[in-house]
Structure 1
Amino acid sequence: LDNKLAIVSGAAFDSYENQHKDECLPGTRTDILNQIKEWAASPYREGIFWLYGIAGTGKSTISRTIAKSFSEVRSLGASFFFERGEGDRGNAKKLFPTIARQLAITNPLLVPILHQAVSQQRDYGIAAKGLREQFDKLLLQPLQKLHRSNISLQTMVIVIDALDECEGDGDIQLILQLLPQLQKAATMRLQVLLTSRPDLPRLHDIPLEVIEHDISLFFSHRLAEIRIMHRLSTEWPGERDLQRLVALSVPLFIFAATICRMFEERDWDPVDSLSEVLTHQDDRTRLAGTYLPVLDRLLRRQNKNQKEQLVSQFHQVIGAIVILESPLSIDALSKLLGISQRLIHLRLSPLQSVLRVPDNDTTPIRLFHLSFREFLLDPSTRMKTPLGISKTEMHNMLTRKCLLVCQKLKENICQLPSYGSQRVEVDCQTINDHLPPEMQYACRYWAHHLVQCAGLTNIVHEAHSLLQTHFLHWIEAMSLLGHTLEISGILDLLRTAIGGNGSSLISQFFHDAKRFILKTQHIVDQAPLQVYRAGLLFSPQTAIIRSVFTEERSRWISQSPVVEEIWGAELQTLEGHSDSVLSVTFSPDGHLLASGSKDRTIHLWNPATGAIIQTLEGHSGSVHSLSFSPGGHLLASGSNDKTLRIWDLATGEELHVLEGHSGSVLSVTFSPDGHLLASGSEDRTVRLWDTTTGVSKQIFDSYSSSVNSVVFSPDGQVLATGSADWIVHLWDLVTGRLQKTIDGHMTLGFVLSAASESVAFSPDGQLLASCSANETVRLWDPMAGGITEIINGDDPESPVRFMTFSPDGLSLASGSFDSPAVCLWNTATGALTHTLDGHSRPVTSVTFSPDSRLLASCSSDGTARLWGLPIGTVQQTLNSQYGSVHSAAFSYDGRLLASCTDNGRVCVWDLARGTLYQTYDCHSDSVHSAAFSSDGRLLAVSTDDGRVCVYDLATAALYQTVDGHSDWVNSLAFSPDSRLLASWSMDETVCLWALDADGLSEIWTFEITDDTSEFSQDGLYFHAGLSSLDVEMSFTTSVNRDISIEDGQWIRLDGERILWLPVEFRPSRFKINGNRLALGHASGKVSFFQFCK
């Protein structure tokens, strides 16, 4: 569960990372601690206690103290301590998963509910979802699913510290909107303690005399310990100096704590240190007064050369520590910076009053307080001490160090067993062993440092040089680390930052890299090594990434499918719905994309990353139409459950359920001012609704058919509606009267068939979204392929329904049940060589002669045609006069052809003479397939009642009838040695029959759902549907896979997943020929693959 939840291990108050942090000294902060305890104990108080204060006023110390107090009485539900510079503790990405996991520890009944919630995530995992989605799926819904009878009503406190250190003001605001909803949990009373920097009940507004008392008590306690430690006089430091220290500290507890840690250091005389502190009491800022004494004493008694060396080393070591986005250990920092651990220890040793230096080299170094970083990076600090840090210089250094570490990346760095290995199957230890902390840091943050460098030109060239070798390796590493969705944003940062600092070649590289990751991030996040397979193979022919890394592609595949020449309009394919997508629309600011589906859900997507931010559930039927309010705060949805729903996007709550229609709601739209909502329905009416109250205000019912589209004029005065009878109605909303009707005006964009695909532009016109029935939403770049006009042309190409390789493997024939033409393809080039026209009705099947010189096509026009190859001319037309011809089969010597008809007869033709040789009556309504044995002795035919009839060709007598299926048999195949016969049936089983002197006997039956079945040329494998059965092993009932298709999405080779298929390459049919694979697609195209042996 922890791996699937993606929690932050160091965020809790009692984590290893927080174990040495201070708690309130007994007798201090008693007033505020008592207030918090009283608030938590009262069932009538607000659900959130918000504690504010400026940096250093002790908020985190209070949080740790109160969290420990509640934990001791088992009232602590969870705690999360934000801290900038601590990796995932510096953002909200894993806040709710971490809280959910801690709540599950205190309430074990939540575990199965949470496990179910995370197991239902089909794409990037719960951590990639938006905060609303995480909150709903991991906290609100699980808590609501708990039965009150299973758990006693109790008060649990959630402590969230330093919310202001969470990156992203939008995330902070959303967290504040979501947390109050925890009050809806009926099984427990959840209270939230928040701390952050100012406003509201400000901690630094607590009476100064209270703060002064607590700080004085703190000093008295700590200085007594210091006197003993250093064997000082009991009079030290004296009442006067003590009061000066208190006055200097108020209201900053961080000052008092830092000074005491400074006095505790054994290498320094606390008497001298006290004198240094008091000399800085006139500094303008409290931070200078806190930290300058610590820094000044480093430079004491140093000659010029020593001072220069110390300053340089301080900048290198301490500068890196305060700039790092995530803390590193001494060991990792040493490897990142390329310096010795001894040097790092030397520079850290005198700074233990401001840095938390662990007693080992593998635990991260941490700041005691973020204010030390702020002080060092403040430009004014450099005027007070040479130890001040230049932010840009440090970013320059760290960028180069990170790029140097990234040069160690390589393909399959974690030595995964297969290129289809799933990321979730790779344990953390394996990742950490092969991607050590300094490499993890470099991969994730090199670009963050780069964009903050001064003088980008040179360093951009260095980054470009690295990526030309290691771009795919970097993507692999980021995927293994669970950061795939960050790559797109990183590339955007780089493209923006380089501006005029990079050559056109560099700009083109980053543009191509962005298109590459958008295309591949869905699968790369699941199977990291597919970046080298699917990523390269399905990129356009002229794509920069494909050409740069062509060697990686050539190692495992000798023939690739034909792909687009250049990047097209499609930016990415969004997969997440479990059924057809019926509607898509962008929010007014373009930051959200909403999609409605037959699966009854609405997905809100981030168009930049392709991640699902939130899923809205509530409709009991398909969601046909969606509309954002003008301000983007509300979303309206229409469904075939006859209702409309208005959703609050800030909380994901359903505000109104609008009932009144008696048929499916096919279209919804907000008025320009957002006060009205219009809906068109299958019930032949249009309704206007008040969006505030949800009340129906007006009904328009002058329609003779379904209303498929509604749209307001820009001024909101007119409503235009389009209906299925192609009539447009224009309504005057001021008078409520019909203004005009336009009959058959098919050029209006809003007259849409309810069955047509839905498209929508983003407000800035840079993206186009389309949805279709293959369960996907696609984003398009209209600049690269935008629609300029609508033309009513011919029907789209028919989908491939059947296909077959020629025995020599050089050609492939394909056809469709709704087309009279046969397509002939060159398997070496993937090119369409001939379209064979001649049948008057759709073609039902095709088959090649054993010598590949003839092609037989069967049709519902009652004929079978023989085409001479390679020219593609008709040589014979065989008319059975028995109705539609379902299929045909050549004898192994190519002299005979058997054709199967729908009146229960099989015709055997002598091809040399062009005459009917034999006719067999199978006493069935229809015969579906036939197969000759390779020795020419037998003919097997299948019937629609599940029988297989075997005839002796020499005598024309029935040899044997076998029953093994409960439905009609669609396909038959003899093994090359005539020892085995395979039959595939619509009952979704394949039977394997052994042929010997005693006749046919069944030896193997297994389930299969595809109608493709054939023996391999060497007879060792039988390919059925998505599987390959090892014939020799079939007698011991074991399966060995050769080439197969898994779930229509993966190609397997020798039992291993080797290639993921994007949506446009997923097959409707496939054929295997040796190590060559052909995929037929719904578009009518065929793709060819040949794998290296």
Structure 2
Amino acid sequence: MSDPEQPGGSGNQYRNIRINKGAKAQLGDIYHIGREDPLRLLPFATHAPFNSYDNQHEPDERRIFWLNGLAGTGKSTISRTVARRFDERKRLGASFFFSKDVGDVSHAGKFVTSLAVQLAKTVPFLQRQIYNAIAEQNNIANLSLIDQWRQLVLGPLSRLEKFHQSYLLVIDALDECEGDNNVRIILELLAEARSLKMVQLRVFLTSRREIPIRYGMHDIPQAEHQDFVLHNVPSQIIDHDISLFLEYKLGRTRREWSLGADWPGEVVLRQLIYKSCGLFIWAATAYRFISEGKEFAEDRLIEILENTGFEGTPEQQLDQIYLTVLQSSIPNTFRAQETDRLYARQRKVLGSIAILLSPLPAAALAKVIGISSAQVTQTLERLQAILEVPKDVAGFLRLHHPSFRDFIINKDRSKGFWVDRKGANQILAVGCIQLMSQTLKKDICEIHAPGSQASQVERSWIDKCLPTEVQYACLYWVQHLQRGSSQVHNVEEAHLFLQAHLLHWLEALGWMGKISEGIQAILALEGHVLVYGSPSFHAFIHDARRFAIYNRSVIEQAPLQLYCSALIFAPQKSIIRETFEKCIPNWIEREPKVQAHWSAALQTLEHLDAVNSVAFSPDGKQVVSGSYDWKVRLWDATTGAALQTLKGHWGDVKSVAFSPDSTQVVSGSSDETVRLWDATTGAALQTLEGHLSYVISVAFSRDSKRVVSGSADKTVRLWDATGAALQTLEGHLDWVHSVACSRDGKRVVSGSADKTVRLWDATTGAALQKLQGHSYWVHSVAFSRDSKQIISGSADNTVRLWDATTGAALQVFKGHLNSVHSVAFSPDSKQIISGSYDKTVRLWDATTGAALQTLEGHLNWVKSVAFSPDGKQVVSGSSDKTVRLWDVTTRVALHALKGHSSDVYSVAFSLDGKQVVSGSYDRTVQLWDAATGAALQTLEGHLSDVYSVAFSPDSKQVVSGSADRTVRLWDVTTGAALQTLKGHSGYINSVAFSPDGNQVVSGSHDMTVRLWGATTGAALQTLNCHCNKVTSVAFSPNGKQIVSGSYDMTVRLWETTTGAVLRTLEGHSEVYSVAFSPDGKQVVSGSGDKTVQVWDATTGAALQTLKGHSSDVNSVAFSPDGELLPTLYVLNDWLVEGHSSGRLSFLQIKQGSELII
């Protein structure tokens, strides 16, 4: 917790450092963040332990001094005193003062770069080293903390060629740094300074005793740090320091206002010290309150003594001094109504300052909360005892101490001055939205050139076009909306804002370099809207999430491309495309042809070379990838932002994996090593050596204590995570391409170029099973969650499922057109994902073997695939140098239509897509509303199972065929039976209307095809030629021909008018389904021989045989554009499925999605 006189800024507060323009652009304009301490540093020393700290010169002395204590005990005062002393002696290397409410010093983003620039000025010969590092890595300010530290601080210091004196780093209020992980990283980085040879870098660190810091310090050897607990210092020492402070400060007031020579007197001074309860913050607040009284300083001193008792806890004493300041802030000369208005305005201003997520100048705050700057200034005039109000109008408003925030939002402590946190957040949320609505516009920075790079635009110009208050609103409006009172009108106001300004907001974030924060805000808003918003708003924000994530890198690099490439490549039917179509520039005359809906691809992450391996962290927050560029990279799975680049391998990285606890990453490389890394800091933990050739695959055991690796040296090795070699498993006759551990840690599975999959005992190393069946190299293996099954992918183009206990082959998944290089189970083991050299990723049903989805987009071999922990996403790595994230939830059931009491045999959409008809074993025909799933009609009359149903072309009638040997026609509106067509002597398996709706065709178990008048019900034709049951019939698009499929293994084409057989198509076993292409030139058929045949409808010639199904092909169709796939395509991206339970499911699928029935 920072203290009353904390500078609150980063960097060295005591000298003006000039850096060249290039370095300044890279490291940030950090020297304008800090603020001058209005009380300045005290000219006296503090406790003896700190006095002696700068006398420690020996290189083996403890180099980190951790001063810790309760809030308000004076830690920051001591930090500044130490910093000033070392600066005067030219031995202050750098300083950084964290502050929870102060923008860039509330987090670690500018920590390393700030230290680096200060060290460049302080340490001779270091400046060139640091500037060279910036020149070599032009985006160094965007790298991870660990990379920045090693390239900007540790690296340059380690390259010094002669011995230098020791330098001190002062790091204040580390507990106010956002993110426990960042705190941990900083402590680990500071500890690395012990490795320096030519310079001794020591650290003076202050914080409260919070758990992350205590744990971090515990990880540093005791011999390397010294701890000092400030609140354990004897009270007489603390009281002495507070006495010196008050004497010094009140002495200035005495001289300024010519008060008595002995004012305030020894007795009063002792009373003030007693009331402070050892808190510097109390003493500092009391002094400020007294001194701001000017000629009334004596009256204010008396007010403090009279209004605050002598008994109570330190917190109670602090509350009393805060209440005294607030009660005195509004004179009692106003009428009651005026006083109430002033108090209300005070609460609005103070409440906003207290909960701001980053400080603002007074004028900026006024614009956000919608009052005049004069009113804000007037309100703050009498509150300078608790607020820092800078004289510079551009200066930032800040609380002198965070303890005031805790006070003002606590109703019991602050009494009538209480600020409702939710209400204050609501004020800020509404203010931010209104400000952005009034300000944001297209090309707000007036660049005019759509291709302009954000990095080429001067930051000063961006800040001029996007003032402080607008940048604040863009960054934090969603957080304030979430934290405020969740009123419907506030949420809808956000909806209206985004419908008008989503692109403007994203553009602004692009110029600000904050697009990742924007994506996080959209994700947070999506969750908020799901609870408090309308369905239409949720649909909008979901689409906005897809749009922003997919275009993240474009917006980041060239924000104006939002209106060009981002919009024109968005799917035609996406909500964002439809909403902002008018924003597409007129000079784009011909837009590219794009898909109608978002594909499964979420985002693309780029390496410099082919990506060999990818994996999700178990918590789903990160993705790790390994590449031919010798690097391991960590990515934010939500935003796609690069988090870490792990360097150390000197060959391509073949395999990567997270530990189950997400704390470590393991990698295997062609440099013959296995390496362990800290997933948070990126630090190299272990290098495991022993393999005699490439390490191709690595994995962790479930308990994270062991690592297994497979190598081109034909062995599998087990390692302790500490680095010790445990087992070498020998038996494979060729390279080991893949390894995995069972969930219980008892077994290891490996796949090899010797075409086998092998199971091993992880404890003894004994060989348990040898699974044979693949005809070429096995590239990938994985255990199911329960460890009862194993999946393998091979260069023979297949995926195989095995029983892990018996070794029996359970399934063979066929469909890939090239080598399968990677396989994985979904978290529930119900699905399998595979990546292939055919450039596709495929999703399979693990139980049935059915192909569920094919994900296309990679431009080269897919070398690695993995599921996210929730099973909703898949990550893939490819030789096209990209990592891609995919949404595999596009096949979500939208409606479950319950009404049938038994198996559903047949379903069909009306041609207008508004209704669905279904036929069932329960002898009924049901009509449903396709949009809502509501039951419209139950058509009863059949005396047995209904096997086939179809709509007329005008959607006014339905035809049904039944096991009762009749065909029935029904009125869709009334449900009335129109006709019963009798003549068949066997079950009716298939029915269809002619394109003009005048005729009906039916196919039956009696081996005939019959043609009927749809209006009269008259029998028109009986087509005899089949010698077994007819399973499927259909009209050609022009109605002149009929096609039929039969168990006699033939497909027949008939002339509708004469009933003559035109063609007999042979080549199948039993034929289950037939259909015409939309242009009538081709016929497709599906068969019990597991193939789909395409035929020329004119000549009868076989055009194509499609193989890949693992069971009978029961249904076939052409897509609306005439392209044939061995799948069922449905109207307007909707699919309806019938179930043996009597239930119907509506599924919405993307264009190009497939389902094998």
Fold-level similarity (TM above 0.5)? yes
**1:27 maps onto 2:44 in alignment:** yes
Of 525, 538, 543, which residue of structure 1 is paired with 2:569? 538
Structure 1 unaligned blocks of 5 or more:
787-870, 874-1093
Per-residue deviation, 1:580: 0.4
The equivalent of 2:1069 in structure 1 is none
Per-residue deviation, 1:507: 0.9
Is the 8 Å Cα contact of residues 604 and 614 (structure 1) preserved in structure 2?
yes
Is the 8 Å Cα contact of residues 687 and 723 (structure 2) preserved in structure 1?
no
Of 855, 864, 872, which residue of structure 2 is paired with 1:766? 872
Q: 1:750 to 1:676 in 2, by over 3 A?
A: farther
**1:779 maps onto 2:885 in alignment:** yes
Of 131, 155, 161, which residue of structure 2 is paired with 1:148? 161
Is the 8 Å Cα contact of residues 23 and 61 (structure 1) preserved in structure 2?
no
Is the 8 Å Cα contact of residues 273 and 293 (structure 1) preserved in structure 2?
no
The equivalent of 1:350 in structure 2 is 382
Q: Deviations over 1:49-107 (max 9, x none)?
A: 11112222121121122112212222111111111221111111221222222222224
The equivalent of 1:192 in structure 2 is 203
**1:506 maps onto 2:519 in alignment:** no
The equivalent of 2:731 in structure 1 is 702
Q: Name the CA distance, whole Å, in 1 between partners of 2:414 and 2:160.
A: 61
Per-residue deviation, 1:513: 1.2
SS at match of 1:350: coil
The equivalent of 1:209 in structure 2 is 236
**1:225 maps onto 2:331 in alignment:** no
Q: Name the CA distance, whole Å, in 1 between partners of 2:136 and 2:550.
A: 24
Alignment coverage as a number of residue pairs: 775
Q: Name the CA distance, whole Å, in 1 between partners of 2:462 and 2:34.
A: 21
SS at match of 1:43: coil
**1:750 maps onto 2:792 in alignment:** yes
Q: Deviations over 1:870-911 (max 9, x none)?
A: x9x9xxxxxxxxxxxxxxxxxxxxxxxxxxxxxxxxxxxxxx
Is the 8 Å Cα contact of residues 407 and 413 (structure 2) preserved in structure 1?
yes
The equivalent of 1:588 in structure 2 is 618
Q: 1:693 to 1:321 in 2, by over 3 A?
A: closer
Q: Deviations over 1:519-546 (max 9, x none)?
A: 1111211111112222212222221111
The equivalent of 2:477 in structure 1 is 446
Q: Name the CA distance, whole Å, in 2 between partners of 1:626 and 1:202.
A: 43
**1:93 maps onto 2:122 in alignment:** no
**1:325 maps onto 2:352 in alignment:** no
Aligned AA (2:153): L
SS at match of 1:293: helix
Is the 8 Å Cα contact of residues 117 and 137 (structure 1) preserved in structure 2?
yes
The equivalent of 1:244 in structure 2 is 271
Q: Name the CA distance, whole Å, in 2 between partners of 1:618 and 1:370.
A: 43
Of 397, 404, 409, which residue of structure 2 is paired with 1:377? 409
Q: Deviations over 1:624-647 (max 9, x none)?
A: 111223333332211122222222
SS at match of 1:783: coil
Q: Deviations over 1:368-407 (max 9, x none)?
A: 2222222222222342xx3332211111111111111101
Q: Name the CA distance, whole Å, in 1 between partners of 2:684 and 2:178.
A: 29
The equivalent of 1:132 in structure 2 is 146
Aligned AA (2:887): D
If asked which structure has higher relative contact order (CA below 8 Å, sep 6+), I would say 1
The equivalent of 1:280 in structure 2 is 308
The equivalent of 1:630 in structure 2 is 660
Per-residue deviation, 1:765: 1.8
Q: 1:221 to 1:737 in 2, by over 3 A?
A: closer
Q: Name the CA distance, whole Å, in 1 between partners of 2:594 and 2:486.
A: 40
Per-residue deviation, 1:721: 1.3
Is the 8 Å Cα contact of residues 657 and 666 (structure 2) preserved in structure 1?
yes
Q: Name the CA distance, whole Å, in 2 between partners of 1:535 and 1:120.
A: 31
Of 770, 794, 799, which residue of structure 2 is paired with 1:741? 770
SS at match of 2:84: helix
Q: 1:420 to 1:270 in 2, by over 3 A?
A: same
The equivalent of 1:658 in structure 2 is 688
Of 594, 602, 609, which residue of structure 2 is paired with 1:579? 609
Q: 1:46 to 1:766 in 2, by over 3 A?
A: farther
The equivalent of 2:715 in structure 1 is 685
Q: 1:323 to 1:677 in 2, by over 3 A?
A: closer
Is the 8 Å Cα contact of residues 520 and 534 (structure 1) preserved in structure 2?
no
The equivalent of 1:526 in structure 2 is 557
**1:48 maps onto 2:64 in alignment:** yes
Of stretches 217-226 and 23-32 in structure 1, the one that deviates more from structure 2 is 23-32
Q: Deviations over 1:234-263 (max 9, x none)?
A: 343333222111101131112112211211
Per-residue deviation, 1:458: 1.3
Of 705, 720, 741, which residue of structure 1 is paired with 2:749? 720
Is the 8 Å Cα contact of residues 643 and 661 (structure 1) preserved in structure 2?
yes
Of 58, 69, 73, which residue of structure 1 is paired with 2:74? 58
Is the 8 Å Cα contact of residues 711 and 750 (structure 1) preserved in structure 2?
no
Per-residue deviation, 1:431: 1.0
Q: 1:204 to 1:23 in 2, by over 3 A?
A: farther
Q: 1:147 to 1:305 in 2, by over 3 A?
A: same
Q: Name the CA distance, whole Å, in 1 between partners of 2:241 and 2:365.
A: 38
Is the 8 Å Cα contact of residues 569 and 785 (structure 1) preserved in structure 2?
no
Aligned AA (2:368): L
Q: Name the CA distance, whole Å, in 2 between partners of 1:363 and 1:725.
A: 71
> Cα RMSD between the aligned structures?
2.5
Give the TM-score, by structure 1 length. Answer: 0.68
The equivalent of 1:925 in structure 2 is none
Is the 8 Å Cα contact of residues 707 and 718 (structure 2) preserved in structure 1?
yes
Per-residue deviation, 1:451: 0.9
Q: 1:225 to 1:658 in 2, by over 3 A?
A: closer
Give the TM-score, by structure 2 length. Answer: 0.64
Per-residue deviation, 1:8: 6.0
Aligned AA (1:163): L
Aligned AA (1:707): V
Of 480, 490, 496, which residue of structure 1 is paired with 2:511? 480
**1:18 maps onto 2:35 in alignment:** yes
Of 108, 117, 120, which residue of structure 2 is paired with 1:104? 120
Q: Name the CA distance, whole Å, in 2 between partners of 1:678 and 1:320.
A: 55
Q: Name the CA distance, whole Å, in 1 between partners of 2:362 and 2:25.
A: 30
Q: Name the CA distance, whole Å, in 2 between partners of 1:551 and 1:247.
A: 70
Per-residue deviation, 1:201: 2.7
Q: Name the CA distance, whole Å, in 1 between partners of 2:698 and 2:706.
A: 11
Q: 1:119 to 1:557 in 2, by over 3 A?
A: farther
The equivalent of 1:929 in structure 2 is none
Matches within 5 A, 1:827-866: none
Is the 8 Å Cα contact of residues 423 and 525 (structure 1) preserved in structure 2?
yes
Q: Name the CA distance, whole Å, in 1 between partners of 2:743 and 2:515.
A: 41
Q: Name the CA distance, whole Å, in 2 between partners of 1:410 and 1:703.
A: 65
Structure 2 unaligned blocks of 5 or more:
1-21, 211-226, 776-780, 782-789, 796-820, 822-836, 838-861, 893-1078, 1082-1157
Q: 1:345 to 1:699 in 2, by over 3 A?
A: closer
Q: Name the CA distance, whole Å, in 2 between partners of 1:648 and 1:343.
A: 52
Is the 8 Å Cα contact of residues 45 and 51 (structure 2) preserved in structure 1?
no
Q: Name the CA distance, whole Å, in 1 between partners of 2:95 and 2:453.
A: 32
SS at match of 1:542: coil
